[in-house]
Structure 1
Amino acid sequence: MFSSNWLESRAAEVTIEMVDPNITLAGLELALGSLYSDEVCLPPADVVSVVAAAALLQMDGLLAQCAEVMCACVAARTVVPFLEAAAAYGLDSVQRCCRRWLQLNLMTHVNDLPEVLRQLPAPELARLVASPELLVHQTEFSLYVLLKTWLFLRLHPEWRGAGREAVTEAHRFVQQRAASVSGPTLLETAQGAPLAGPFGRMRLQHLVLHPFDMEVLFSDRVVPTGWLGGLFRCHWLTLLRLDQGLVQPDWCRAVSQQQFEACALRCGRTLDDRRCTWRWTGFNFGLDLVMSHSRRQIALRRNSRQELPLLISQADRRTVLYRVRVVGLDERRAVRFELATELRSVQLARGQQVHVLTVPPEVAYPLLLSVNIMTAPISWTPTCAASGRPASG
């Protein structure tokens, strides 16, 4: 506007109509001041306004500086405003930074901040839920609980409280509605349908692997039952095929990276610098997989416990596909360390343990552990897809 062949570049006085509500006097002063200084101080509190002013004035250099500041200042209180500004003004690098931060912090930090969780728009949350880079803390059912809380917060904008209170109130709300209202589920109503997108991007096949999870899922009457019906047929067919030896040991060869990332079981936890052994509960097609952490070594074992022998696969070897990732965060909860395995396959004999990953000695705890596992060729079969699920937010 102020250079090249624009008419305004030769005018002594320029009148600009400013209709963008993001443009403030402070932001405009900083933007115009940058024309007379090589160094510009961009306070995080004003950077969105500066971006808006710079976009209006077509100051590409200043926009690039703002993008650097925003990426360096992504945190809980800034991530949603920065993400919205990045989308509005075409700052792709800022969008990537914000989404990366949310992928790691949605279930480990934002879940305890109702005011931040409430701000997330449905399309963006749906994108996060579908992302293979989302760090699912605990299990897919934990993600369902988070989405249920988000749904409650969006439907009750006046509600205020702490994170655990929000979870409790969300559960009370959907249970009371389910007990008093017959007919469609919450996501099938005019009130809930606009917010259905994130729920439709969950890996619903992993919500029906534990009886307690299923009881809550059906009693909540949030998710349409039509989304779930085909999953039971698919799981049962896979179990029968495994039991009859109809699944080839090398079934994993037919699974592409994209299919694995879209369908694998997602689970995670926080690791401290101590010895521990754990499993994520739920039916796993006869495999009891146990993970352990000791002296910075992470291992995966096929347990052959005897107390429930009829529920444990007696096959000599079972194929497992997995990817494991550990992440360390700094005080802003940005990545300070990350280490991940490639997509690996292993045939586990009963009682066999395999080394998965070693945490370098210089890395400080605590760390976030993300594990993606596939134990049977099931989830990507088109006939197993639930009908009526929204494709996006």
Structure 2
Amino acid sequence: MGARSSRMLWHWWGRAPEEPGAAGGEEEAEEAVVAEREEGKESEEARPAARQGSRKRKRGPGGPLTKEPRRKHAKDRSGSVYEALFLRGEQSDVRIRALGEEWNLHRVYLCQSGYFASMFSGAWRETNMDTIELQMPDENIDREALHEALGSLYRGSILIPPGRVIAILATASMLQLDEVIQQCGEVMKVTVRAQTVCSYYYSAVSYGLQTIRTMCLQWLLDNMMTQCSEKLLQEVSLDLMKEVIASSELLVMGVEMDVYTMLKKWMFLQLQPTWRGPCSALLPDTDSWFARSRRDSEGTPFLETEQGRAFVPVFQQLRFAHIVCDPTSARVIHQDALIPAAWLRPGYKEHWLGPLRAKQTRELWPMDLYVSDPHGNSMRCGGQLHRHKQCSWRWEVFNFSWDLVVCYANQHIIFRCSAPNKPRSLGVSLLEQRKVGFRLRLSCLDRDGRAVFRKDTGYQMLSLREDQELAVMNLENQDVVFPIHVACNFLYLHREGYCPE
């Protein structure tokens, strides 16, 4: 059916998109004039009734002369367009076949899609074909999603359930439907949670939704160690886990050794995706499986075996200097035999040289601190405040010869350098004062893991003597929700300062 009949659809069924590339001619101008005159007559005839109707409405709604607003007619007309032209295929001029289904459609509506606009511009062999077979290059596209995407060309917007958003996003990306892509992004923004975060992340990468990708990555950094389940661990790919573990934004609950333990369970689930069991059994089953593997490989570190090599880039992101400084953690690392010994030597070296540098450095350093942490040097640790009640916990001896107590009291987070009743370590016995760079972050998460509150000190200089304390964050008049996740990054400052940039 020709261009004239396609344009006639606009007057019978309501305003349609301008046909790309259509030339204006006498026929089109004549149709426009006729339509304008008819609309003028209708308005002229309706004017007295409208005035009378307005007087009637002052007495109350629902009178015999009350008229429906024009926008209601427009809405009904849009529905009629969808039902008549899309669902019933009336006056169709092109047939689309895909995924075992046929749609009798109209070129003028299809040209709203960049995909079909290019196809009908003469660049493709399908330009003048009455029946077009579509090949689906993306396995995420299914018949229902294609039906919804094509239907959006006839009614402007569609309802996108979260469970269907990826299929519709894939279809809209293929058809180049920018408004539908944007609508999918809005749905994803408000439905990111444990069950959707990984699939949303991978889709955002595939279809170029950078904002959604960033949002999902932030969700994982906030929740990977706070509400991590075996199902979530199974869904996180090697590349994604590498990005998460490498980041200093990771909300570590505990210390770096806890990051290693989480990675060990993740690797086991990647190797044994059919594992099922209670959460309490995951770590014992993980240790048992790797113990058998160690016996089978005659003690070869697992990451040097054929099965383990794929995981090397992920485990290399661990900060071993902040693991081997604790005797218990170092013993577990050696017993597990996952990590090659050569990876641990720099950590032991740093653990020894750190106190020596602290012992020999006596002058006071400048108080200005310019730090970014792109190379993963900071110590990551954290804890939780479960209720509005005074509490404290201890981060012991990092690699800085410190015993630092973290207190929550009177809506303040306080650091205190304690003086334990025990023999001091090498560094503490010879130097009363310590200086490190620190950054404290607080986060409150809702039940879906989305942040409802954040506060960040940025990197600052911390310099304390024994029994001295410092209030590092004030939460008075802040809209916080418990539990509060408290995370800190510490950087040891060498004598000449620290500026990796």
- TM-score, normalising length from structure 1? 0.89
Deviations 1:298-342 (A, max 9, x none): 100111223223456142321121111111111211011111112
User: Counterpart of 2:182 in 1: which secondary structure?
Assistant: helix
Whole-Å separation in 2 of the counterparts to 1:357 and 1:283: 21
Question: Which residues of structure 2 form unaligned runs of 5+?
Answer: 1-109, 122-126
Match of 1:279 in 2: 394
Give how far 1:13 is off: 4.0
Match of 2:77 in 1: none
The answer to whether the 8 Å contact 2:445/2:451 transfers is: yes
Seen in structure 2, the aligned counterparts of structure 1 residues 196 and 260 have a Cα distance that, compared at 3 Å, is closer
Match of 1:372 in 2: 489
Seen in structure 2, the aligned counterparts of structure 1 residues 256 and 208 have a Cα distance that, compared at 3 Å, is farther
The answer to whether the 8 Å contact 1:141/1:207 transfers is: yes
Match of 1:390 in 2: none
Give how far 1:252 is off: 7.4
- Aligned equivalent of 1:206, options 319, 322, 332: 322
Whole-Å separation in 2 of the counterparts to 1:23 and 1:41: 17
Deviations 1:340-391 (A, max 9, x none): 112110321221100011224432211111111224539x99xxxxxxxxxx
Whole-Å separation in 1 of the counterparts to 2:308 and 2:440: 35
Whole-Å separation in 2 of the counterparts to 1:202 and 1:163: 24
Seen in structure 2, the aligned counterparts of structure 1 residues 247 and 30 have a Cα distance that, compared at 3 Å, is farther
Match of 2:165 in 1: 47
User: Counterpart of 2:383 in 1: which secondary structure?
Assistant: strand
The answer to whether the 8 Å contact 2:380/2:490 transfers is: yes
Higher mean alpha-carbon deviation, 331-340 vs 312-321, is at: 312-321
How many residues are matched?
Answer: 376
Whole-Å separation in 1 of the counterparts to 2:348 and 2:367: 22
Match of 2:256 in 1: 140
Q: Residues 194-273 of structure 1: matches in 2 within 5 Å?
A: 194-243=310-359, 245-246=360-361, 248-250=363-365, 256-259=370-373, 262-272=376-386, 273=388
- Aligned equivalent of 2:233, options 98, 112, 117: 117
User: Counterpart of 2:291 in 1: which secondary structure?
Assistant: helix
Which amino acid letter does the alignment assign opposite residue 373 of structure 2? Q
Higher mean alpha-carbon deviation, 321-330 vs 355-364, is at: 355-364
The answer to whether the 8 Å contact 1:175/1:219 transfers is: no
Whole-Å separation in 2 of the counterparts to 1:35 and 1:265: 53
Whole-Å separation in 1 of the counterparts to 2:370 and 2:131: 61
Give how far 1:260 is off: 7.6
Which amino acid letter does the alignment assign opposite residue 165 of structure 2? V
Which amino acid letter does the alignment assign opposite residue 280 of structure 2? R
RMSD of Structure 2 on Structure 1 (CA): 2.3
- Aligned equivalent of 1:8, options 96, 112, 120: 120
The answer to whether the 8 Å contact 1:153/1:159 transfers is: yes
Match of 1:192 in 2: 308
The answer to whether the 8 Å contact 1:114/1:161 transfers is: no
Match of 2:195 in 1: 77
Match of 1:295 in 2: 410
Whole-Å separation in 1 of the counterparts to 2:404 and 2:366: 19
| Percent identity over paired residues | 29
Give how far 1:235 is off: 2.2
Seen in structure 2, the aligned counterparts of structure 1 residues 135 and 310 have a Cα distance that, compared at 3 Å, is closer
User: Counterpart of 1:279 in 2: which secondary structure?
Assistant: strand
- Aligned equivalent of 2:179, options 61, 70, 77: 61
The answer to whether the 8 Å contact 2:443/2:485 transfers is: yes
The answer to whether the 8 Å contact 2:440/2:489 transfers is: yes
Whole-Å separation in 2 of the counterparts to 1:156 and 1:171: 13
Match of 1:30 in 2: 148
- TM-score, normalising length from structure 2? 0.71
Matching of residue 90 in structure 1 with residue 208 in structure 2 = yes
Whole-Å separation in 2 of the counterparts to 1:332 and 1:18: 34
Seen in structure 2, the aligned counterparts of structure 1 residues 36 and 360 have a Cα distance that, compared at 3 Å, is farther
Whole-Å separation in 1 of the counterparts to 2:345 and 2:367: 26
Give how far 1:16 is off: 1.2
User: Counterpart of 2:282 in 1: which secondary structure?
Assistant: helix
User: Counterpart of 2:372 in 1: which secondary structure?
Assistant: helix
Question: Which residues of structure 1 form unaligned runs of 5+?
Answer: 382-393
Give how far 1:222 is off: 0.5
The answer to whether the 8 Å contact 1:151/1:195 transfers is: yes
Query: Larger C-alpha radius of gyration, 1 or 2?
Result: 2
